[in-house]
Structure 1
Amino acid sequence: MRLRTSLALVLALFAPSACDSEGSDNTDDTSIADTEVADTVLTDTAVTDTGSEETVPNTWGFPMRYPQEHTVSCSGRFGTEELEQLELDWICTFEYGGNSGHVYIQATPTACKVAMSATPVFGDAAGWIALDGAVSALPEATYDWGGNHHNDSLGFMFGDKSFRYYHSSFGYGWRKCQPMDCLQVNDGGGELVEDGCTADRTLPAVCRAIAADGTWDDMTDTFERCLGDPNNEGR
């Protein structure tokens, strides 16, 4: 009887220890599992949050951004100059070859150059066209500041032709007096097919710059010849 009692006591003493050991192991495993799950969630959240920029609401469905300011620098005769320049984004009407729609081009300043003064260079541009409710990307989108007189232009490829928004009227000193107002059309080899930017403005267009707050002027054609335009004579 004493031997059985001693054996029972020994078993009783070891039983709680075994339970504690198993309980401790289970807790550690759960802890490791929770940590691994938490790490995965954090990683997924970080990827999701590396985020998309807010777009400007518009009726055409363009991925329209709010233009931001950039600082670019360039060297000239008087040392290095810094230029603060807003991204220049444009919305223009498009009427050609039976197509009627709108073109949206984003131009980001990437450098500047000095001739008589520092002017920005827009080495990064992207474009889209909206036709019949569908938006398509435009290859080879460009924006050119237009030198010291700022006679700027927009370019892009559409189909087998290249298009250029430019100006049909220049005032005193060969300076523009309004946004781009016409289209020039080149073939795939760069040869001029149709110049809609002559004094007759045979391919009219309306272009409006997007402001930093995401607004733009009315798209009504308000074209007028510049004061001092030599083509005004006799008209």
Structure 2
Amino acid sequence: MIVGCVISNDVRSNADDPPGGDSFWGDGKVGDTGPMSDFPIRVPEARSVPIVGGVGTEVVLDWDHVCRIDDGELQTDIYIQASGSYIDFEHGGQVIMEVVGAWCTHDDGVVPMPATYDLGGNHLVDRIQFELDGGVYVIWHSSFTATGRTCAPPDCVLSCQSDATFATCDPYGGFLVDGCDRETGSGPPPIPVICVLVNADGTVPPLLDPWQMQTADPDYPILPCPNEIAW
């Protein structure tokens, strides 16, 4: 369970909450509308979506992420639920995703937030956009393979300009601080992020730094990508 902040006007340990916890599911059954202290993690599913511009349907998996940002100024955990919306047949069969739920840890507990998720075309160069306290941010990648693909979940964050929207700020422009900027062969990005995909059974993997060796997982570090090209 990813634990966020707790405030006094929310009720912990409802009938369906975990011991000492405060979950989305427990709140909903008793009408508790205060901020939560943990994320409403779902079990990802495979869903049938229409092929726009083509014929029939295709099955698309949910892509749900939990990310942790801690750069001194922005400190939050976020949880994004993204499901397939449709297949864009006329643009190479790209999968268009839709965020059906997004939350972040905040001074007021775990609260909903606006967010988008782009699967990143056939190369799966995915990105997350979210808005928090009036600021727009983009979670992106700082390391790519020689063929322009990613080898790990997003690992850095861009801070957008003060008047930015989701439509005007992305990895190619509209940002104020590039927290992904690094040289090929160098160390981690200036504003690192730890992101993991929610497992098929709805559990959340440990939030391990992808740039460091980890005693809990001998496969780490998983960044930089082999034969990398830096952002």
After TM superposition, the structure 1 = structure 2 runs for residues 116-131 of structure 1, keeping only pairs within 5 Å, are: 117-131=92-106
Work out whether 1:196 is the aligned partner of 2:170.
no
Work out whether 1:160 is the aligned partner of 2:134.
yes
Query: Where does structure 1 lack aligned partners over 5 or more consecutive residues?
Result: 1-52
Matching residue of 1:181: 155
- Structure number with greater CO (CA < 8 Å, separation at least 6) is 2
CA distance in 2, matches of 1:173, 1:81: 31
One-letter amino acid matched to 1:154: I
The one of 172, 196, 203 aligned to 1:215: 203
TM-score between both structures, scaled by the size of structure 1? 0.66
Q: How much is the aligned-residue C-alpha RMSD, in angstroms?
A: 2.6
- Structure of greater Rg: 1
CA contact (8 A) 1:83 1:120 kept: no
Residue 65 of structure 1: CA displacement?
1.4
Matched residue of 1:148: which SS?
helix
CA contact (8 A) 1:91 1:104 kept: yes
Aligned length: 174
CA distance in 1, matches of 2:135, 2:209: 25
One-letter amino acid matched to 2:179: G
CA distance in 2, matches of 1:123, 1:231: 28
Query: Where does structure 2 lack aligned partners over 5 or more consecutive residues?
Result: 1-23, 27-35, 165-173, 183-187, 212-222
TM-score between both structures, scaled by the size of structure 2? 0.67
CA distance in 2, matches of 1:184, 1:155: 9
- In 2 relative to 1, CA 226–116 (structure 1 residues): closer, same or farther, beyond 3 Å? farther
**% identity of equivalent residues:** 28
Matching residue of 2:9: none
CA contact (8 A) 1:93 1:101 kept: yes
Structure 1 residue ranges, 4+ long, deviating more than 4 angstroms after superposition: none
CA distance in 1, matches of 2:121, 2:50: 16
CA distance in 1, matches of 2:84, 2:25: 20
Q: Which has the higher helix share?
A: 1
Per-residue CA shift, 1:191-230, capped at 9, x if unaligned? 3111111126111001011122112322110231111223
CA contact (8 A) 2:51 2:87 kept: yes
Residue 54 of structure 1: CA displacement?
6.2
Work out whether 1:228 is the aligned partner of 2:205.
no
